[in-house]
Structure 1
C-alpha cells in the first residue's frame, strides 16, 4: 500500500528527499492517472494465483471438462459481481470500496467486520500465497525429483516478504519500479504459457479437448469438492473489485487503512506515513507481521480455500446490500443501474459456494468465521465504547507517540471535503483524545 505525498502550499511533485516538509505538512497526493489505474487493476486480477490455482481446480473437479466448466462459470459470476459493484461504486462514491458500502448500508459493526477480516485475513493470506508460489517455483529446479522441504519454502517466502516490505518502506519510487517489473514478468509468463499451449494443439496434442474425452476421467464427485474447485478458480479471478478502490483513488487518495482510521475503526497509527519517504511504514509492518504468521502452513491450497471462503462471504454481503439499498432508497441517484437479476444470480451462486465449502472444509472455513466473529468484542471495546477511562487514552497515546518516534511517521494532511461528493472526510481518530468522535 504505497502512497505519494505532496507539500501543502508547495510543489505538487512528490519526492523522496529530506526537503519534503520544507513548506508544510505531509499529505497524500492524487497521482494515479487512468493508465496507472488500469495497470493496478490488471496487475491485481492477473496475479500469482493463475500460476497455482489451475492444479487445485483440476484436482477438485475430477476431469478436464468439469474443470473448464468451473473456469467458465466462475468467470461469468465474477463479471456479474463486477456489474453489481459498478452500481454500488457510483451510488456510494466513497473511498474504501466494499468496506464503505457495507458500513453505510448495514451499519458500523458490519463495516468494521469487513475491515477486520480484510486486515487480518484477506490481505495477509493473499500475500502469503504469492510468497509461497514464488518460493515453490524458485526451489523446484533444485528439487525436481521430490517436493521442496516445507521449512525451505517458508524460509524463502519469509525472506521475500521482508525484502519487499523493506523496499515499500524505503521508497515509493522503488516500490513502483519493482511492481512494474513483476507485472511485466507475469504477463510474459502468461504469454509463454499461451503460446506453448497453441503450439501443442497444433502438434495434435488436443486429446483432452475433444468432447468425447473431456469427461473421460470423470466420476461422481462430492458437490463440496466442486465448490472447492470454484473457490480455487475464484482466487485466480480475484482483484476484480479493485476497480472500486482505484476509481476513488483518482478523486480522493485514501486507501483502506486511511478510510478505516478516518472512521475510527482502526488505530490512527496505521494511517500514518513517513515524514520524508511518504510511505505508510506502520501499515506495511503490520501487514508483514500478519503475513509471516500465515506462513505457519506451506499448503498453498489450504490458504486459498481459507481466503476464498472469507472473500466470498463479504462479496455476498456487499451484493446483498445493493438489493437492500434499492429497497430503502429506490429514488437514489444511480448513474449505473443494473437489473436485480444480476445480484440475485450472484447470491444464489454465493449461497451454494459457502454452504458446500463449509461442508467440505469445516475446519478451514470455521477458523475464518471465528476470526471474523472475534471482531465483535473488539468493535464493542474499541469503537462502540465511547467513554473509556482516561488511563486507557493515556496509555494509547503513549504507545502511539513511541511508535511515531521509532518509525518517523505523522498524520497525513487531508483535503477538505468536495461539496460535489457525498463523502464527508472526517478527521482520523486520535487514540489519545477521548473527545474524538467514533462512528
Structure 2
C-alpha cells in the first residue's frame, strides 16, 4: 500500500522533491523556507536543530503533487476523488504496522522526541499542523478523519481545535452521554489520505480513501484506544478528550490569512505515542500558504462537483481559487443545456459549502486555471442586472473575517452565454489552430533556439 515514503520517492523521480541538509531551527525557519518555496517543490528538511527526525513540507502545495503521489495524470485528480466519493472501498484491519516499532508512554514530552515547529509569528506555541485526528461516532462506530490544529501544551497534553463538522459533532454526542472520546492522531500520511480527511461527507473517510487509492486502506488497531489508524503513518498519538475539559488554545495563523484568536478549546490527554524507526514529521504552514489552502481545496472541489452534477449534469470542472483562500471563491465551468443552469449552479454551491461566498459560473470553453480567461468571460458574457445573484443574510462560517452574527452576503455571477447565443459569440480571435500548431512545432528553428 502506498505511504508517505512511496509518495516522496515518486516526487523525487519527478524532480519535485528538494532535500535541505543545511541546519535549520524549528522556530520559524522551516516555515520561512516553505514560504520562499510556496509554489515550488516538496521540501525534506534533513537537519533540524536538536533533532534526528526529518521534517517534510509542501507535500500538497499544488494539485499536481497529488497526481504524482498517486501516479496519475494531473487532469485525473478531480475525477479520481469524485469517483472515490461515489465508489468507496472498505478498509482492512491488520495487527501490525511500522508505526508500532518505537513506543513511548502517553506522558512523554512530545517536544523531546519530535521537531514540532513554531510556524507563524503570533502563533501561541509549537503546533502539530498536519495531524489527522481519527475518532468514531459513539452510536454507529463510523470513523471520521480530519486535519486539526493542535497546540502542544505540555507533557501528555495537546490543545485541539475541532471545526464545526463531524469530529465536533461526535464530541457533543459524548458530552450528552457523559463519556470521553477516544482519538488517535496520525502524522506523516500519504497525501491521498490527507485529501480524504478533508472531504465534507457523511461517509467514513477511510472508505473514500480506499476509492482514491482504488484498493482497501490497511488500518492497524491503536495500542490504548478503540481507534484504527492507517498502517502507513509515521507517527501516531493516542488519547482521550473529556468534553468537560477545555483550556486556552491559540492564536494560530489560519487560512483566511488572519490569526484565529485565543479561545477555550478541547484538550487531548495522551495515553500512548508510537513511531516508526526514524520517522518523518510532516508540517503544513498555516495562513495563506498554498499547502494550507490546496490540501483542503482538492477535497472540497470534488464534493462541490458531485453536488452540482446532481442538478446540472453538464458541469465540467470546479476550482476553488487561491486568491479566495481556496474556501471563499469558486469558479465552475458547465456545458449549459437550459436557461437558468448558471443560477442553479450558483445556489447549489452556496448550499453545499457555507464557506463559499462568491461563485463565478463560466462556459466550458473557459480555462479555469487562467484568471484572465475567467475575467474575460465576466467582462464579455454578463449583464449585471440579469446575471448577478445577491443573497444577503446567508449563513457563514465563523472563520470568515467579514462574518457578522455568523451571516454574510453571498454573490454569484453567471458568466455563461445564453443557450441560443449565435456561434459567432463563442469564436475567439486568433490565427487558425493548425497554423499555431505548426508554428509551435517549428518554434526552435524560428527563434534559433534549437
User: What range describes the TM-score normalised by the shorter chain of this pair?
Assistant: under 0.3
Q: Judging by fraction of residues, say which structure has more strand.
A: 2
Q: Normalising by structure 1, report the TM-score.
A: 0.22
Q: Judging by fraction of residues, say which structure has more helix.
A: 1
Q: Normalising by structure 2, report the TM-score.
A: 0.22
